[in-house]
Amino acid sequence: MVTMKSRVNASLVFILIVIFPCASVLSASADFDFFYFVQQWPGSYCDTKKSCCYPTTGKPAADFGIHGLWPNYEDGTYPSNCDDNSPFDKSTISDLISNMRKSWPTLACPSGTGEAFWEHEWEKHGTCSESVLDQHDYFKTTLGLKQQTNILQALKTAGINPDGGSYSLESIKDAIKEGTGFDPWIECNTDESGNTQLYQVYLCVDRSGSKLIECPVKPRGRKCGSEIEFPSF
Ligand code: 5GP
Ligand code: 5GP
C-alpha cells in the first residue's frame, strides 16, 4: 500500500535527484571566470559618423566614462542576459545615482538620464555575476574601479593629453600600466575622416570585483594602428 509518507519521500527523492542537479547546471552555465572593466573616451564616442547626444543632466566631464563591468570566461566567450527575473531597479542604487551620472554617463541618442544604459548593462552583464555581486554591489564596485584606476590621470602624467594629437599605442599602454600596475587592452574606432582613435580601455578584474588582474584572454574589440589620435571632448 502507498502511504502518505512514502509519497512525500518519493517527491523528495524526485526533487533531490532530478530538479536539484538541473538547477545547479543552469546556474553553473551562468557562472564566470573574471570581469572586463571597460571605460570609454567620450570624445571618441562622439567623434564618429554616428555622433552622440549629451545626457539630459548636461555635458559629461572630459574624463573616461564607464561602459561596463562584463563577466567573462577564460576561453574568451561570455555569458549574457542571465536572469530575466532580476530587472534593473533604480531604487536599489539611489545612494549611487549622483556618482553614476558623473562616472557612467550615457552618450547615446536620443538624450537620456543614463537609466536606459545602466539597465542594459545590468540586464545583459550584471545578472551574470549575481552569484558574487547583487545589483547594489555591482554598480558600487564598478564605480569604485573607475576611481581606483584613474586612467586619464595616468595618461596625463605621461604627457598624453586629450588634445587631438597623435600618440603611439605603446606609450598609451605603458602609461596605463604605470598608473594601474596592469596591462590594458586598447580598442580604437575611427573619426569622421577615417583616423583611428582611442575609444575604449579594457582592464581585467578578479571574480570578486575587488582586484585588478592581468587579462587571461584578449577582448574582441577593434584593434588600433601603431599611432592613434586622442581627441578632445
Ligand atoms: P562590440 O561588438 O561593439 O565590440 O560589442 C558589443 C557588445 O557586446 C559590448 O558592448 C558588450 O556588451 C558585448 N561584448 C563584446 N565583447 C565582449 C567580451 O569580450 N566580453 C563580454 N563580456 N562582452 C562583450
Ligand atoms: P553593449 O555594447 O554594452 O551591449 O551595449 C551598449 C548599449 O547601451 C547600446 O544599446 C547602446 O545604444 C547603449 N548605450 C547608451 N549609452 C551608451 C554609451 O554612452 N556608450 C555605449 N557604448 N553604449 C551606450
How confident is residue 11, by pLDDT bands cut at 50, 70 and 90?
Answer: low
> What are the cell numbers at 227?
599611432
Quick one: which ligand is closest to 53's CA? 2
Q: Tell which wins on pLDDT, 6 or 86.
A: 86
Please identify which of the residues 123, 125, 130, 229 carries the catalytic annotation. 125
Query: Quick one: CA torsion of 233, 192, 111, 92, rounded to 10 degrees?
Result: -70
Q: Which architecture does CATH list for 32-229?
A: Alpha-Beta Complex (3.90)
Which tens digit of pLDDT belongs to each residue from 169-204?
A: 999 999 999 999 999 999 999 999 999 999 999 999
Which among 214, 216, 143, 206 is positioned nearest to 181, based on CA atoms?
Answer: 214
Rounded to the nearest angstrom, the distance between the alpha carbon of 46 and the centre of ligand 1 is 19
Cα–Cα dist 190/162, whole Å: 16
Q: Does the pLDDT of residue 9 top 70, yes or no? A: no
- Ligand 2 pocket (Cβ < 6 Å) reads 40, 45, 67-68, 106-108, 117, 120, 124
Atom of ligand 1 nearest to the CA of 187: 4
**pLDDT, mean of residues 81-105:** 98
Q: Is 136 considered catalytic here?
A: no
Which range has the worst mean pLDDT, 1-5, 41-45, 148-152? Answer: 1-5
**pLDDT, mean of residues 17-27:** 43
Q: Is 187 considered catalytic here?
A: no
Q: Domain spans of the chain?
A: 1-30, 32-229
Which tens digit of pLDDT belongs to each residue from 134-147?
A: 999 999 999 999 99
Contacts of 189 (CB under 8 A, 6+ apart): 44, 45, 48, 196, 197, 199, 222
Contacts of 4 (CB under 8 A, 6+ apart): none
Which tens digit of pLDDT belongs to each residue from 214-230?
A: 999 999 878 899 999 99
pTM of structure = 0.88
